Amino acid sequence: MNAATLYGLCSAALVGLGLFGAIVHPQPLRKILAFNLLGGGVFLQFGVIARRGAAAGMGGDPVPQAMVITGIVVAFSATALAVTLLLRLYQVSGSATLSIETQSSSESDGGGR
């Protein structure tokens, strides 16, 4: 087994872990974290493809690498927007939950700050 295959298996595990966390965690912030984990796994998968495409004197195929750099920045933008939405939800409703029952009960007791 070479390094590319090893990190490929690692990335597969990361995607699974991220997916599991994003589904079962009730807190939105933990979902965002799990989503980033999932993204990290997908990016690493690109890295494996890039490494296997090493040719023409390059250590890896530069095209997937450039796409991952773009991806990391876009993932950060999405995370920043999601976090801000979450903080705003907390600001107006006094809670940061996606559950409908809890949300309506906190609205009825005034919530907010």
* Residues from 17 through 56 that contact another protein (CB under 8 A): 17-21, 23-27, 29-30, 32-34, 36-37, 40-41, 43-45, 47-56
CB of 15 to another protein, least distance (A): 6
Among 96, 109, 111, 112, binds another protein (CB under 8 A): 96
Rounded distance between C-alpha atoms, residue 22 and residue 8, angstroms = 21
Rounded distance between C-alpha atoms, residue 52 and residue 74, angstroms = 25
Contact status, residue 31 vs residue 25, Cβ threshold 8 Å? yes
CB of 29 to another protein, least distance (A): 5
